Amino acid sequence: MTIRPRLTVIGTGYLGATHAICMAVMGFEVLGVDVDASKIEKLSAGAVPFFEPGLPELLTKALESGRLRFSTDFQEAAAFGDVHFICVGTPQAAGSEAADLRYVDSAVTTLARHLTRRALVVGKSTVPVGTAARLAGLLRELAPAGDAVELAWNPEFLREGFAVDDTMKPDRMVFGVTSDWAEQQLRTAFEPVLAQGVPVKVTDLQTAELVKVAANSFLATKISYINAMAEICEATGADVHDLAEALAYDERIGGRFLRPGLGFGGGCLPKDIRAFAHRAEELGVGQAVGFLREIDGINRRRRARTVDLVVELCGGDVAGKRIAALGAAFKPNSDDIRDAPALDVAATLHRMGADVVVYDPAAMDNARRVHPELCYATNALDAARDADVVVLLTEWNEFREIEPSAMAAVVRRAKIVDGRHALVPASWRAAGWEYRALGRPIVP
């Protein structure tokens, strides 16, 4: 029987907390480590500090099993773990398109100084290609155990809202390694995942780093492609919704990530395509992915177009008009408001003088903290009270279930912009609403 390695997970944000909890549930002894004592305190007490369906129940289960603990102590981590997963954030650097690597560097440096025996350090964070080779050098230089400490790269592909499923049964695993020993360690650490038949691609460090940014860039490209088609539809009276459906029947194209609308946001896609374009320029091959700037531009234009539609429905000026904004999170089933298209639109309308009332089923606290200037309602109907225009910005199921006639009864004017193509236009029109959606024809 193979002896299961003991795992540490450095960084207990979205990725790290999910990884630590799921690995403990799958039977490993896990120590979650973070420099933020308040996060460690919350997690130790059984509270997940962000919204993710299914995760709180698994945290309780993992803590009860006795296999999961949390700490702020890197020395303890080094003594405990055989495999150390680096799961810290790599946000966009202030005033630049580059990724900010200070958290990755500091996690690896701090851990390295305590590594006195053979160990594998595994990067999971999204980084510019070439980072892993640099970190491997840092480890060799700083770890007392020297060459006995190796680095591997194992990019993470989980989606918010599906984090548990994506971790327990991912589409694929990628192992970037420089030795058979490192590959074997990873195969043992992911044995319960691989046992389900999940395909694994073993490759070098730089290819593993690239898989992640290449995947996110492809997904962003697909979304912006259909949104570019929406711009064409708007100029021709064609319907991008029908167009996307017809394209999706071609199995080579497929319908996933081909949903037109307000575009992509969140803590990953926008910053990853910018960091990738920036890194390619540093490498002298910027031209190869120059199109990513266009992808970003198309995406930003969707937000501006949504604002324009609201202005149009207000008769050319939103000043003094009441706008109900349904949604704040960057996507449903999440309370994440990082680069959220929804809040971007709401805040822009507010800056233009509108009286904006926001409602989101999960992201209200986060939205209030970052946008205290906006008004907040406790449910969708309250948000819509006396509204001149309702604008749907995040496609929560709760909004799909709104009864159009019930909402019509509380608004001042029954005008709705469906920024996510989430509603059935005929039902809303039948209840007397003027229904508009990006890239869909105006029906008189």
According to the binding rule CB under 6 A, does residue 264 interact with ligand UGA?
yes
* Upper half-sphere CA count for residue 407 (Cβ side, 13 Å): 31
Interacting residue with ligand UGA among 188, 204, 221, 257 (CB under 6 A): 257
Q: Which C-beta is closer to ligand UGA: that of 256 or that of 369?
A: 256
Count the site residues for ligand UGA by CB under 6 A. 21
Q: Choose one: 231-239, 252-260, 287-295, 365-373; the region binding ligand UGA (CB under 6 A).
A: 252-260
Instruction: Pull the structure tokens for residue 168.
Output: 């327990």
Provide, rounded to whole angstroms, the least separation between the CB of residue 261 and ligand UGA: 5
According to the binding rule CB under 6 A, does residue 303 interact with ligand UGA?
no
Interacting residue with ligand UGA among 74, 175, 330, 376 (CB under 6 A): 330
Q: Choose one: 23-31, 65-73, 189-197, 264-272; the region binding ligand UGA (CB under 6 A).
A: 264-272
* Residue 42 annotated in ligand binding: no
Distance CA 410, CA 241 (A): 29
* Residue 39 annotated in ligand binding: yes
* Residue 279 annotated in ligand binding: no
The DSSP annotation for 78-93 comes to HHH-SEEEE----PBP
Encoded one letter per residue, x for contact with ligand UGA by CB under 6 A and - for no contact, window 184-223 reads --------------------------------x--x---x
Q: Choose one: 259-267, 314-322, 353-361, 432-440; the region binding ligand UGA (CB under 6 A).
A: 259-267
* Residue 158 annotated in ligand binding: yes
Alpha carbon of residue 102 to chain centroid: 20
Distance CA 101, CA 123 (A): 12
Interacting residue with ligand UGA among 176, 263, 327, 439 (CB under 6 A): 263
For the segment 124-183, give every residue that binds ligand UGA (CB under 6 A).
Answer: 126, 156-160
Interacting residue with ligand UGA among 279, 305, 331, 440 (CB under 6 A): 331
* Residue 109 annotated in ligand binding: no
Q: Could you give the 3-state DSSP secondary structure of residue 200?
A: strand
According to the binding rule CB under 6 A, does residue 107 interact with ligand UGA?
no
Known active-site residue 268: yes
Q: Which C-beta is closer to ligand UGA: that of 219 or that of 309?
A: 219
Rounded (5°) CA angle 104-43-22: 75
Q: Which residues of 7-44 are buried (b: 16+ CB within 10 A; e: fewer)?
A: bbbbbbbbbbbbbbbbbbbbebbbbbbbbeeebbebbe
Interacting residue with ligand UGA among 266, 327, 419, 439 (CB under 6 A): 266
Alpha carbon of residue 226 to chain centroid: 20
Interacting residue with ligand UGA among 6, 113, 134, 259 (CB under 6 A): 259
Distance CA 287, CA 285 (A): 5
Show Cβ contacts of residue 250 under 8 Å, excluding neighbours closer than 6 positions.
none
Show Cβ contacts of residue 12 under 8 Å, excluding neighbours closer than 6 positions.
20, 32, 33, 34, 36, 39, 40, 43, 70, 87
Helices marked H in 314-421: 341-351, 364-370, 380-384, 397-400, 404-408
Q: Which residues belong to the annotated binding site for NAD(+)?
A: 34, 39, 90, 126, 160, 271, 338
Q: Which residues belong to the annotated binding site for substrate?
A: 157-160, 212, 257-261, 265, 331
List, by residue number, the catalytic residues.
268
Positions that interact with ligand UGA (CB under 6 A)? 126, 156-160, 216, 219, 223, 257-259, 261, 263-266, 268-269, 330-331
